[in-house]
Amino acid sequence: MNDGLTATQRASWTERGFFRIDDFAAAETCAAMLARVTEVVRDPALAVALGVKVVPESNKVGVEVENPEDGVSKIFKLHRDAVFACFAQSAAVVDLVSELIAPDIDVFLSQFIFKTAGAWGQPWHQDSFYFPFEPARPVVGIWLAVTEATLVNGCLHVLPGSQTEPVHTHVPDRRPGANYGYFEIVDHDMAASEPVLMNAGDLLVFDSHLMHRSTDNESAGIRAAMVYHYAAAGTVDHTDEYFPSINDWVPVRRDGRPTAPRAA
């Protein structure tokens, strides 16, 4: 059972819109996630059977890659698969996230981000731009560093305090051949932003109005992350009225307690 947030976490959440927990996940958890997505990408029939969405890295389309995963940007809808369900529905995660939302919550979105060598970053955005929900918030994202995230390999950057902003206008990422679904905020000063340097296993917990981005991977290695989003049970999702939805609502906490992990 979680005793709630620490005073430091609560203050950072309120004032800055995020907090981090170092060493949240074991090295074995990160390794198991990376091994599983590699297996899925290398086996298209498995990807179909799991119902996941594999998105290619746009600037590598047509480029010969050594391994199939080197040409993949993200895999969505993983949170019913055992490795990812176990983490998404663990008491450590859902008790923590419920402190920020409500006693009863669902996980509705998951994505593994490969960010292999040469992959592009995601421009400045607020996740709530993608979430036309009732109620619109709170929605909480958790970003698990599966590998180290550095300035060179394309770590996240956040704008502390921007969670108090409304959802700004987002324009399509202006780079030719930008990745699927990338939109950008261009009407706000990001000069006070901070990089979020992480080691594998570190976790960032962030508000869906927090402005954030990631930079390009200019290293020779992978910068992988696993991201989940949570909202209150009973939230009405209008995504289908705007664009094809990749949300999949799974109850993870009911009657104030974690539900049993539900693998597909």
Measured from the CB of residue 196, what is the shortest distance to ligand AKG in angstroms? Answer: 10
Q: Which of residues 93-122 bind ligand AKG (CB under 6 A)?
A: 113, 115, 121-122
Two tokens, residue 245: 């939805």
Q: Does 123 engage in binding with ligand AKG (CB under 6 A)?
A: no
Q: Which of residues 68-87 bind ligand AKG (CB under 6 A)?
A: none
Measured from the CB of residue 81, what is the shortest distance to ligand AKG in angstroms? Answer: 18
Q: For ligand AKG, what does the binding mask look like between residues 147 and 166, x meaning CB under 6 A?
A: -------x-x----------
Which of 57, 49, 183, 174 shows the shortest CA–CA distance to 112?
A: 57
Q: Which residues pair with 158 in a beta bridge?
A: 194, 212
Measured from the CB of residue 99, what is the shortest distance to ligand AKG in angstroms? Answer: 21
DSSP for residue 78: -
Two tokens, residue 161: 């305090």
Q: Does 227 engage in binding with ligand AKG (CB under 6 A)?
A: yes
* Residues with Cβ within 8 Å of residue 218, at least 6 apart in sequence: 152, 153, 154
Q: Which is nearer to ligand AKG, 34 or 258 (CB)?
A: 34
Among 29, 58, 128, 214, binds ligand AKG (CB under 6 A): 214
Per the CB < 8 A criterion, the answer to whether 133 and 192 are in contact is no
DSSP symbols for 158-197: E-TTGGGSPPPP-EE--STTPPTT-EE--SS--TT-EEE-
Q: Which residues bind ligand AKG (CB under 6 A)?
A: 113, 115, 121-122, 127, 154, 156, 212, 214, 225, 227
